[in-house]
Amino acid sequence: MTRKGSNFAGLSVAITTPFKGGEVDYDTLRTQIEFQIASGTVCLVPSGTTGESPTLSHEEHERVISAVVEAAAGRAKVMAGTGSNSTAEALRLTKWAAKEGADAALLVAPYYNKPTQQGFYEHYKAVAEAVDIPICIYNIPGRTGKNIEPETIARLGEISNITMVKEATGSLDQASQILATTNLTLLSGDDSLTLPFMSVGGEGVISVVGNIVPKDMIALVNAFNAGDTAKAQEWHFKLFALCRDMLGIATNPIPVKAALQMLGRDTGDLRLPMTPLDDQGQQKLRATLVAYGLL
């Protein structure tokens, strides 16, 4: 079966938003984009959680989307993070992304206000009907406080331009139910679950670790797609500790920014309430990067 969002299969990278002196560092952002395109990344995902979207002003959020679309220049797809717990704000951001030429929009489930399942449905339906670009539902109850149930996702999948789901519940059962009951393309929201999700019909990942080793994540996806499950497992186990550190040492994107700083690719600056990785976390992360062969 060809699924609705199969043109976004493979590696998408949830890119960080570089900061310098408290401001968005657009020069470093462009460097990161060139690195991803040279690596073969299918899709860039700016202004999501990894991009510290909750601390971007409305103007910065829009400008980051525009800057990534402009820098990518059609060489990679752009799926702009445009979610909000206010439907009106999500509408405004998604319309902006569509106007600026983004290829799709990633909308995190409305957080904190914990809508009913009908509320989730109406929220996504309102946004999808206002734009022509494909919409990816981002379900991450660990951050938002509430799960979008598979039955609700199935209803949303009947809307023509809702084509993808970024599945970050950590549940293989939920992923399986979505794949069994919808024609949506399922993308893993957890790097370490990319291979398990692909084994039941997922088509790729929206990745954090891809900021560091995009070619290795591409190699995992390509090996599985080529039917070489042994090679895909090799990559899975090589990547596993690094993937877990991105989420396990501290809240994303604290570890990935620390790693990029250690690798000389970013200042590592964060915006409050995110704070730098502590000494114990730095030591653990450095040891993982050394073991991986990056340092």
Among the options 77, 124, 146, 166, which is catalytic?
166
pLDDT, average across residues 246-275: 97
Is the C-alpha dihedral spanning 124, 154, 194, 141 positive or negative? positive
Q: How confident is the model at residue 1 (pLDDT cuts 50, 70, 90)?
A: confident
Active site residue 166: yes
Cα 8–12–16 angle (5° rounding)? 145
* Distance set, CA 243 to CA 45, 178, 214 (Å): 18, 24, 12
CA 263 to chain centre: 21
Q: How confident is the model at residue 198 (pLDDT cuts 50, 70, 90)?
A: very high
- What is the average pLDDT score of the chain? 98
* Distance set, CA 109 to CA 48, 98, 149, 178, 282 (Å): 12, 19, 11, 16, 31
Q: Does residue 43 register a pLDDT over 90? A: yes
Q: How many helices (H) and strands (E) would you count in the chain?
A: 12, 10
Percent of the chain surpassing pLDDT 70: 100
Among the options 111, 121, 124, 138, which is catalytic?
138
Domains of the chain: 6-226 (3.20.20.70)
122-140 per-position pLDDT tens digit: 999 999 999 999 999 999 9
Percent of the chain surpassing pLDDT 90: 100
Q: What share of the chain is helix, strand, coil (3-state, %, to 5)?
A: 50, 15, 35
